[in-house]
């Protein structure tokens, strides 16, 4: 069976309620599909209107359903009338065999009455009807998906026309507090979260939501060697300093074991000055290889700018004191030293394989966002064109 591209559009309400991680986790573990794209959308009036107009007549066999979805989109996606501020939604792309059917089954129908958490809509959606008249009094479907390849293609082609202007890092959204004290910071979910289907990525996002910060940008990507070298470039000097702090003691211990008599660490300091750059370069190569799947010293010149073989997810959070709040919930770089309940303590393995990276300052956050180009994602748009041109 050929691969398909399916979408999940997480509505503004569950994003405001910070249910995004739980929803993503559900799709990752209940399908064998690969998450290949993610974008935050601040739908313009033009996109919301075009989307609602399409939904108003997309299924001639069920006009009641069409009206329900169309009216919902007009209400939930149209920017605030008074201020023009948009509402945040998140568009996810999943790829794999029979992707459209699998996504639809995990999502569930709006008319199901299981109310037991079997589907995404059972857990995160709601539809309240008047028991006497059957009139729908409240409707929140949590996500919007496509029931057929044809429908998926039509919707994605419609959204594709607006991604350049409405997607990226969404500024000024209705539920994102503004002001001069607000910061943006970057979180990067590392490759160890994506090597097999798991709850890890969604659970990490759920933990971060306890900070009260808002996701204003997201990008699924494969880091190139060139990006990794620039991103982690400042680490080189710190690796040299780290080695000088422990190198002499370790060398003295090794020599003592080898020769059978005590060796003083102090005279070995000049040796460590020589070894520190070699240690830093080896560790730096290990970091780049972990993040990209490629070792810089083994790369051909033309391979340095190609997407790597490992996957990452960039998340931009915004809010008051965002940098410190994120670093606190992540915990110490070494998972063994991180406090219980922190992300790195719960999901990390060692200093390098520690689940997530977080910017250490607002200035570095902007530098890192620039390197990863979170604002733009031509691969996301190319995926849609490839499947539904």
- Ramachandran category for residue 172: left, alpha or beta (phi over 0 → left; psi -120 to 50 → alpha): left
Answer yes or no: is pLDDT of 173 > 80: yes
Point out the catalytic residue in the list 135, 357, 366, 376: 357
| CA 287/CA 228 separation, integer angstroms | 8
| CA 103/CA 85 separation, integer angstroms | 31
Q: What percentage of the chain has pLDDT greater than the value 90?
A: 82
pLDDT tens digit string along 265-277? 899 888 888 998 9
| CA 287/CA 107 separation, integer angstroms | 37
Q: What percentage of the chain has pLDDT greater than the value 70?
A: 99
In angstroms, the first-to-last Cα distance of the chain is 20
Decide if 59 contacts 66 (C-beta within 8 A): yes
What pLDDT sits at residue 301? 86
Which of these, 10, 13, 205, lies nearest to 120 by C-alpha position? 10
pLDDT tens digit string along 112-135? 665 677 899 999 999 888 888 888
Q: Which two tokens stand for residue 337?
A: 């030293």
Angle 200-209/20-30 helices, nearest 10 degrees? 170
Q: Which two tokens stand for residue 20?
A: 């995004």
What pLDDT sits at residue 134? 81
CATH class of 1-168+374-389: alpha beta
The pTM of the full predicted model, rounded to 2 decimals, is 0.93
**379: annotated active-site residue:** no
Give the H/E segment covering residue 315.
Answer: strand 312-320
Domain boundaries, the chain: 1-168+374-389, 229-303
Decide if 13 contacts 47 (C-beta within 8 A): no
| CA 165/CA 50 separation, integer angstroms | 15
Q: Which two tokens stand for residue 338?
A: 């991180």
| Helix segments in the chain, DSSP class H | 12-16, 20-30, 45-55, 63-77, 99-107, 120-124, 149-166, 200-209, 225-231, 235-259, 269-292, 322-330, 343-347, 362-372, 378-388
pLDDT tens digit string along 177-197? 877 788 999 999 999 999 999
What pLDDT sits at residue 117? 78
Burial 293-313 (b: 16+ CB within 10 A, else e): bbebeebeeeebeeebebbbb
pLDDT tens digit string along 305-328? 999 999 999 999 999 999 999 999
Distances in Å between the Cα of 151 and the Cα atoms of 27, 91, 158, 224, 350 are 20, 15, 11, 34, 45
| CA 68/CA 49 separation, integer angstroms | 15
Decide if 9 contacts 72 (C-beta within 8 A): no
Average pLDDT over the chain, rounded to an integer? 94
Residues 6+ apart with CB under 8 A from 149: 4, 100
| CA 214/CA 208 separation, integer angstroms | 9
pLDDT tens digit string along 18-32? 999 999 999 999 999
What pLDDT sits at residue 113? 62
* 279 HSE (CA, 13 A, CB side): 18
Q: Which two tokens stand for residue 75?
A: 């209400």
pLDDT tens digit string along 54-103? 999 999 999 999 999 999 999 999 999 999 999 999 999 999 999 999 99
What pLDDT sits at residue 272? 87
| CA 175/CA 141 separation, integer angstroms | 19
């Amino acid at each position: 069976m050929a691969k398909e591209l399916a979408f999940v559009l997480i509505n503004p309400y569950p994003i405001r309620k910070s249910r995004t991680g739980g929803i993503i986790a559900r799709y990752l573990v209940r399908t064998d599909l690969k998450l290949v794209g993610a974008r935050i959308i601040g739908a313009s009036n033009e996109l919301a209107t075009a989307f609602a107009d399409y939904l108003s007549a997309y299924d001639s066999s069920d006009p009641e359903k069409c009206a329900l979805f169309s009216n919902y989109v007009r209400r939930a996606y149209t920017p605030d009338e008074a201020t023009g501020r948009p509402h945040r939604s998140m568009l996810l792309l999943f790829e794999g065999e029979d992707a459209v059917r699998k996504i639809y089954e995990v999502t569930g129908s709006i008319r199901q009455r299981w109310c037991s958490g079997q589907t995404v809509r059972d857990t995160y959606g709601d539809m309240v009807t008047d028991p006497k008249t059957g009139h729908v009094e409240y409707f929140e479907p949590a996500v919007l998906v496509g029931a057929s390849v044809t429908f998926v293609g039509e919707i994605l082609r419609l959204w594709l026309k607006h991604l350049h202007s409405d997607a990226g890092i969404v500024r000024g959204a209705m539920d994102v507090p503004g002001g001069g004290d607000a910061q943006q910071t970057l979180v990067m979910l590392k490759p160890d979260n994506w090597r097999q289907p798991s709850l890890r990525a969604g659970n990490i996002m759920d933990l971060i939501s306890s900070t009260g910060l808002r996701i204003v940008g997201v990008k699924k990507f494969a880091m190139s060697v060139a990006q990794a070298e620039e991103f982690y470039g400042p680490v080189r000097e710190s690796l040299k300093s780290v080695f000088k702090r422990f190198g002499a003691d370790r060398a003295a211990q090794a020599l003592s074991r080898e020769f059978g008599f005590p060796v003083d660490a102090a005279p070995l300091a000049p040796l460590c000055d020589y070894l520190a750059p070699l240690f830093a370069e080896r560790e730096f190569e290990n970091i780049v290889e972990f993040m990209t799947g490629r070792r810089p010293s083994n790369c051909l010149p033309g391979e340095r700018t190609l997407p790597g073989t490992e996957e990452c997810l960039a998340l931009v959070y915004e809010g008051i004191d965002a940098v410190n709040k994120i670093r606190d919930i992540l915990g110490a770089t070494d998972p063994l030293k991180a406090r219980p309940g922190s992300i790195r303590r719960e999901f990390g393995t060692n200093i390098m394989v520690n689940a997530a990276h977080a910017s250490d300052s607002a200035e570095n956050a902007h530098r890192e966002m620039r390197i990863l180009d979170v604002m733009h994602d031509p691969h996301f748009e190319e995926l849609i064109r490839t499947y539904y041109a």
